[in-house]
Amino acid sequence: MFEDLKGRTAVVFGVANKRSIAWAIAQGLHAAGANLAITYQNERMEMEAKDLILSLPGAEGFMCDVSKDEEITELFEKLKARYGKLHAVVHSVAFAPAEELKGDFVNTTREGFRVAHDVSVYSLIAVSRAAAALMEDGGSVITMTYYGAEKVVPHYNVMGVAKAALECTVRYLAQDLGRRKIRVNAISAGPIKTLAARGISGLGDMLRSHAERAPLQRNVEVSEVGSTGVFLASDASSGITGEIIYVDCGYNIMGF
């Protein structure tokens, strides 16, 4: 592995367990030589996350619920004191109340819509603003999206609407932060069996049909999302901002 992130500091949001996309990106960033701060949502996530973080020498763990402004402020105060400058942020967080991902989309509740957009979209704006203040040398902000933002995926429902807003947020942030040499991009990953995907009825069928239709004839590996995260954090992607990069074995290019 090239150490192209040596001397850089990255903060990664969204590690729940060893299957988390955030964890794959964190491992990639660590292998590329970055200093790592890894955040987890709450005490419930702490145990599992802490064990993983301990396995990456030098990485440090912090708690942060991104639906709370005070927790974001506090986290970035700690990061400023501990690291001074920041170079990359990975936002790998999404949530909609479970009921919203089951029934008909037309039954989306006002509160379900609010929560999905607050946790999955607004948090990117809040985190980017706080991070930008520490990105004195420029930087890279990376978030995670899914094809359900563009085309209807049954039961993805309000999350699809939130991901569409997230992808648009990436473009507006990229324009705003570009003058400060901060790039903002999203990775659109194919379906992966993580905590957030488990329990979704029909996930097995979805993975099978995805592998069948995708040009590469298989599902994406979480490590492939990890290495794309490293690319977007590094200077190898210095000319790329405001983009949605597909890591889906080509699934999205197919019309039939």
Q: Which active-site residues does the annotation give?
A: 146, 156
- From 56, 55, 57, 64, select the one nearest 14 (Cα to Cα): 64
Residue 229 C-beta: closest distance to ligand NAD, Å: 11
Rg (CA), the chain: 17
Spell out the residues 6+ positions from residue 98 whose beta carbon is closer than 8 angstroms to its own.
Answer: 199
Nearer to ligand 0WE, 127 or 182 (CB): 127
H helix intervals, 102-235: 110-117, 123-132, 157-178, 203-213, 222-233
| Residue type (1 letter), 152 | V
Q: Rounded CA gap, 170 and 25, in Å?
A: 19
> Does the protein bind ligand 0WE through residue 200 (CB under 6 A)?
yes
> Does the protein bind ligand 0WE through residue 66 (CB under 6 A)?
no
> Does the protein bind ligand NAD through residue 246 (CB under 6 A)?
no
- Footprint of ligand 0WE on residues 127-186 (CB under 6 A)? 146, 153, 155-156, 159
> Does the protein bind ligand NAD through residue 92 (CB under 6 A)?
yes
Cβ 146 vs Cβ 210: under 8 Å: no
> Does the protein bind ligand 0WE through residue 251 (CB under 6 A)?
no
> Does the protein bind ligand 0WE through residue 56 (CB under 6 A)?
no
Binding mask 37-66 for ligand NAD (x = CB under 6 A): ----x---x-------------------xx
- Using a 10 angstrom Cβ sphere, with 0-12 exposed, 13-18 middle and 19 or more buried, the burial of residue 97 is middle
Tokens of 95: 């949530």
Nearer to ligand 0WE, 125 or 197 (CB): 197
Cβ 247 vs Cβ 187: under 8 Å: yes
Site residues for ligand 0WE per CB under 6 A: 94-96, 98, 101, 146, 153, 155-156, 159, 191, 196-197, 200
Positions touching ligand NAD (CB under 6 A) are 14-16, 20-22, 41, 45, 65-67, 92-95, 119, 144-146, 189, 191-192, 194-197
